[in-house]
Amino acid sequence: MSKRQYLVLFRNKASAAQPGPSPQQMQQMFGAYKAWMERFKDDILDLGDKLKSDGRVVTASGVAEGPFVEAKEVVGGYMIIAAHNFDAAAELVKACPAADSPGTSLEIRELVGAKM
């Protein structure tokens, strides 16, 4: 059975800036991500990247500049994974340390035509 490719969008609730994690918390987070990446190394095709907060929205009527203060959620990053089906993709994503971050959700979307 061939695997399909899925885009995972990292969404965060728009809120005031929160203090960052301590150095000890950063080490714990790094360790958790390293273990997760090792466990799913064959299914994480592109770890993607974090996205800057500013951007542009293009519509038929023109181009609007961001950031978009009216947004309740912002897309903060992405990655591309491979899985046999949505359930398997959800299991991989649920195991990601980002899934445990308060105010964060991870959206999974299948890429049309992308099979391995």
What is the per-residue pLDDT across 28-84, written as a single tens digit (0 to 9) for each?
999 999 999 999 999 999 999 888 877 888 878 888 876 555 566 778 899 999 999
Three-class secondary structure of residue 52 per DSSP: coil
Which residue ranges form the domains of the chain, and what is each CATH number? 4-14+24-115 (3.30.70.1060)
Q: What percentage of the chain exceeds 90 in pLDDT? A: 48
pLDDT of residue 55: 82
Pick the residue with more confidence: 116 or 74? 74
Pick the residue with more confidence: 116 or 37? 37
Q: How many CA atoms lie within 13 A of 91 on its CB side?
A: 9
pLDDT of residue 104: 87
CB 76 within 8 A of CB 10: yes
Give me the phi and psi of 90, to 5 degrees please.
Answer: -65, -40
CB 48 within 8 A of CB 78: yes
| First-to-last C-alpha distance (Å) of the chain | 9
CB 89 within 8 A of CB 108: yes
* Rounded average pLDDT over 107-111: 94
Rounded to whole angstroms, how far apart are CA atoms 19 and 2?
Answer: 43
